[in-house]
Amino acid sequence: MKKRFVHQIVFIIAVLAMWQVIYELQLFPALMFPSLGSIFSALTEGFADGGLGEMVLYSMSLLLRGFVIGIVAAFVLSGISMMSRTFCDIYNMIVSMCDLIPGVAMIPLAILWIGIGEETIILIVVHSIIWPMSRSIMDGFSSVPKIYKEVGANIGLNRYSMLLGIYVPAAFAHILSGIKVGWARAWRGLISAEMIFGTTGSGAGIGWFIFMKRTNVDIAGVFAALLVIVAIGAVVEYVVFRYIEKNTIRKWGIGK
């Protein structure tokens, strides 16, 4: 574990050093390829007087609301598909079709249906999460060993107890994988929607920050915002998801 962490840190340092070397050699115009100093200055200024902190918190609030709705909906619909073969056939077809539609492509319809506001962005987030997560959950349910189902039937578990006591624990590795994919897609959908909508009645998000920096040709500010997105993703991946994985699938002996 420590060796993996050291390798990652060394790689990041090497990339940063290479970036600065390329800047010093002036292989690209400074406007397109800013120095590390200007990027970190833009990052500091963004949090100090640019409202970047508030925008990040606002984006995270929208993301978490849509994330919870998407997870609950995916669990409920995938659970029903496990208990009903007819529903499973229909829902699997719906997932296969809807999972191909990018969240950005849903924005015009979402604006027509709901208008411009928080609800529209949350709808895009839900759309980005529910289909890949449903696919992972159903794949996980279908991969549950037959002997587990037979044991559950022999001890008298009903369909709901079988779902929570057999299917969910046995398929949790797939479920967690679906959550990770949904999280990544939700971020992309959220940023895209915010860049198109701009501000809502309640505030502006990090996507709007990126849009404004691009409009003002502040490329260092754009890279600063991207660093914030990457940092949040790293924390979620290496802290939150690793903690869940350590205390579930690894502890249960169903993962590496």
Rounded to the nearest 10 degrees, what angle do helices 118-142 and 107-114 cross at?
120
CA distance 191 to 210: 9
pLDDT at 109: 83
pLDDT band at 163 (very low <50, low <70, confident <90, very high): confident
222 CB burial (10 A radius; 0-12, 13-18, 19+):
buried
Inter-residue contact 52 to 205 (CB < 8 Å) = no
Per DSSP, the residues of 96-123 read: HHHTTS-GGGGHHHHHHHH-SSHHHHHH
- Give the tens place of pLDDT for each residue, 35-70: 888 888 888 888 887 688 888 888 888 888 998 999
Specify the CATH number of the domain 62-246.
1.10.3720.10
pLDDT at 32: 82
pLDDT at 254: 60
Residue 187 has pLDDT above 70, yes or no: yes
pLDDT band at 198 (very low <50, low <70, confident <90, very high): low
Instruction: Report helix, strand and coil shares of the chain as percent, to nearest 5.
Output: 80, 0, 20
Summarize the confidence of residues 101-130 as an average pLDDT. 83
The residue ranges of every structural domain in the chain are: 62-246
